[in-house]
Chains A and B, each alone.
Chain A
Amino acid sequence: MSPVVVTVADLTKRYGDVTALDGVSFSLGENRIYGLLGRNGAGKTTLMQILTAQQFATSGEVAVFGQHPYENESVLSRISFIKESQTYPSNLRVHHVLRAASLVHPRWNEELAQQLVDDFRLPPRRNVRKLSRGMLSALGIIVGLASRAPLTFFDEPYLGLDAVARQIFYDRLLADFTEHPRTIVLSTHLIDEVSDLIEHVLLIDKGRLLLDVEAEALRGQVLTVAGPVAAVDEFARTGAELHRALLGGTARATVRGDFGPADHDRARALGLDLEASSLQDIVVRLTTATNGSAPSTPGVTRKEVLR
């Protein structure tokens, strides 16, 4: 694995009775793109706020570039955290915000910033209060990309952005990442849109880490098989069934397991249609399959019957 940039050990955060993060542990390597996935209220934003010293952990340890980020200039100056809820002083215009960001981020690239302003068609002289939701998101994205921080967090940065602008974001992100590699954490609900970008998946549900796995490995791990119920039953025994839909005498099941080519052959021999589940399907199945039970318990099944 590449050098470690972030280490999180047994991190817990409570707000009164609410446990936002519950014993989370993982690490992030250098120059990779991570997808931080999970439902609303899963604890993604809290996690990123603690890693950037904007919030305080209840217990557990975090290290960013080997040190605790709180009041640590050498760590903070290497981080860029773009969040959907970011507010700006009401007297600032777009170009003021970019100027401010350029003062703060040592690796700021003005050329890239200006190019992105053009790409997103952002009016530089407009007051931030008068920007639409999409324009505000674009402003955040520009700050996040042009800062070229060695550790960059994007927390649902696309709110209000149209499909074209989102594609520009993904394209620019990948292009700039290729030329200037850095560690990027992308927290998003639009999983299908970013599934090609993400190299490593972190899935959080109800404050707990459900998945910490290479995106490529995950894709092979979860399969959707469809065919006669008996054959599906037969195949599903080799893994953990996450979801099943019945239609007459045929079933369609999402199964998680350590599948290899032999398993694929076996499925075909059983007369089953086989396909790798999309990242979005996997996330949906995993986060709904754990309702009311401990996460990642083998054999957790959620059945629904269609008539």
Chain B
Amino acid sequence: MNRALTVARLQSVAWPSVVGWSWGILASSFLINLAIFATIRDADLEPTTGGLASIYIVMFIACINVITQDFPFAIGLGMSRRSFYLGSVIHFGAQAIGYAGVLYLLSVLEEATGGWGVGLRFFGLPFFLVENPVLRYLAFAIPFLLLGFIGFAIALVFKRWGVNGMLTLGTVALVLFGGAAVLATWQRWWAAIGDWFADQSGGALLVGWPALLTLPLAVASWLIIRRATP
């Protein structure tokens, strides 16, 4: 466990660049939106900008980098794969917990100020309205984890099996999703699928299902990293 914490600290030695990228890009996205909304001055619309996605995308890329860059470095320094995996999950999980907290507070602030005074809905998610405060916090946190483990898993497939592994993964995904689409079209299931999504609560779509998907990805990542070479 101590060595796992060492890995977490290892990944934080250049922490300003770790935190800077995520929040720097989010901040610039926010400021641009704020400027546009201040210029338009149409308070009735209250659309969601989608700019919030930027921090999730940055974290997804950061998790790919953890495997492609930090893994060869940490293993080269003499960490075990177990410690590296645990440490990376701790490091990334701590960021997800902290960042979700900040995003939650910003969304509360956004509501209280009537969209920063210009009707801007940047941090709030009207479509998936989640009223329960705990669920609302988790709705910010869990998607981080899902994207992070998708990043870990994909990068690990590349690390362990190289380009051929990625091509195989891509082919399998294409066949599975393509086959499902053909099946749904053939059986005329699309309307039912649409209804199913519409029936899901915001909590289920942003917390429940992502959490359920995260678990097998975490297990798969662990199994792959056990025999991965730097």
Interface size class of B (residues with CB under 8 A): 20 to 34
Interface centre among B17, B77, B80, B81 (most CB of A within 10 A): B77
Question: Does B217 count as interface, using CB distance less than 8 angstroms?
Answer: no
> CB distance B78 to A76 under 8 Å?
yes
Q: How many A-B residue pairs have CB under 8 A?
A: 70
Chain B residues within 8 Å of A72, by CB? 80
Q: How far is the CB of B5 from chain A (nearest CB, A)?
A: 10
Question: Does A244 count as interface, using CB distance less than 8 angstroms?
Answer: no
The one of A52, A56, A87, A93 in contact with B78, judged by C-beta atoms closer than 8 angstroms, is A52
Nearest A residue to B226, CB-CB: A71
Q: How far is the CB of B107 from chain A (nearest CB, A)?
A: 29
On whether A91 and B77 interact (CB within 8 A), knowing A54-B229, A56-B227, A73-B3, the answer reads no
Assembly CA distance A93 to B14 (angstroms):
8
On whether A87 and B6 interact (CB within 8 A), knowing A52-B78, A76-B79, A79-B78, the answer reads no
Interface centre among A55, A76, A93 (most CB of B within 10 A): A76
> CB distance B6 to A104 under 8 Å?
yes
Question: Does B72 count as interface, using CB distance less than 8 angstroms?
Answer: yes
Question: Does B230 count as interface, using CB distance less than 8 angstroms?
Answer: yes
Q: How far is the CB of A94 from chain B (nearest CB, A)?
A: 11
Instruction: Say which one of A95-103, A224-232, A277-285 lies at the interface with B.
Output: A95-103
Question: Does A89 count as interface, using CB distance less than 8 angstroms?
Answer: yes
Q: How far is the CB of A105 from chain B (nearest CB, A)?
A: 7
On whether A96 and B79 interact (CB within 8 A), knowing A87-B69, A89-B73, A104-B6, the answer reads no
Chain A residues within 8 Å of B17, by CB? 91
Q: Could you list which residues of chain A lie within 8 angstroms of chain B, going by C-beta atoms?
A: 49, 52-56, 71-73, 76-77, 79-81, 83, 86-93, 96, 99-101, 103-105, 143, 149
